[in-house]
Amino acid sequence: MTKMLASVNSLAEAQLILNSTADIIDLKQPKQGALGALSINDVRQIVSQVNNKKPVSATIGDLPMQADLVFNAVLAMSKTGVDFIKIGLFPGGDWQGTLSKLAALSQQGNRLIAVLFADQTPDFQTIELFKKNGFSGVMLDTMKKSSGSLPQLMPYNRLAEFVKKVKQAGMLSGLAGSLKAEDIPKLLQLNADYLGFRGALCEEHNRTAALNKESINKVLTYF
C-alpha cells in the first residue's frame, strides 16, 4: 500500500504532521533548493521530539557529486538519528566514485535513498548501481520546481517503469515533485511505496510557505 511522505522545515511543522495520519516526516528546507537541508542541530532536535512515533527522513542539500563532500554530509546527518537520508543525484560530477564511497555508510546500517530528477532525463539503468552500493530506496523528484509537476514532466508509463525497476531491485520506491491532490488517484495505481508532498500541503500551494492544516487534510483523504 502506498504511504504518504510530508516534507517539513521546522519543529512546529513536524509536530503538525506528527499529529496527522501522514506516514513519514521528511526534513528539508525548500528555500535552499530542490533538496535543501535543515541544519544538523535542527534535525537532531526534531528527531528527538518525534521520538520514534513516525519514521523521519532528511535531505543533505543540493550538493555536487563530489565523493568526499557528499560522504561527509551523509555521515554528519547519520549521527542525528534519522531513519532515512535522501541524496540528490545531481547532473555532472563523479557519480560512481560518490556512490562507491557511500557504500561504506550503507554497510553500517544507514538507510540511504537516492533521488533522481525527472526533468534531467534520468537513466533508470542507474537503479542497479544504487542497489549494488547498498541503497535502501530510490525516489523520483523534480529539480526545477518551475518546470512543472512530476506527471507533467514524465508520462505515466515511464513512472510505472521506474517503480517496477526499483521494486524488482528490492528497494523502496518513491514519487514526488510538485504533486497535487488531483494527481493522487492515478499515481496510487502505480503502487509506489511513497508519494511525497510539500507544495500541496502549504498555503496557496507555495512550497516555501507554511504548512496548512486544511491542505494537509485534503491530501490525506486519499490515503
How far separated are the first and last CA of the chain, in Å rounded? 9
| Spatial contact of 176 and 197, defined as CB atoms under 8 Å apart | yes
**Which member of 86, 101, 131, 165 is catalytic?**
86
Q: How many CB atoms lie under 10 A from the CB of residue 123?
A: 9
**Which member of 28, 131, 145, 165 is catalytic?**
28
For the question of residue 28 being annotated catalytic, the response is yes
For the question of residue 218 being annotated catalytic, the response is no
Q: Any idea which residue has 526534531 for its cell? A: 46
Q: Of all residues in the chain, what percent are helix, strand and coil, respectively (each to 5)? A: 45, 20, 40
175 beta partners = 140, 195
* Alpha-carbon span 15 to 140, nearest angstrom: 26
- Which positions are catalytic? 28, 86
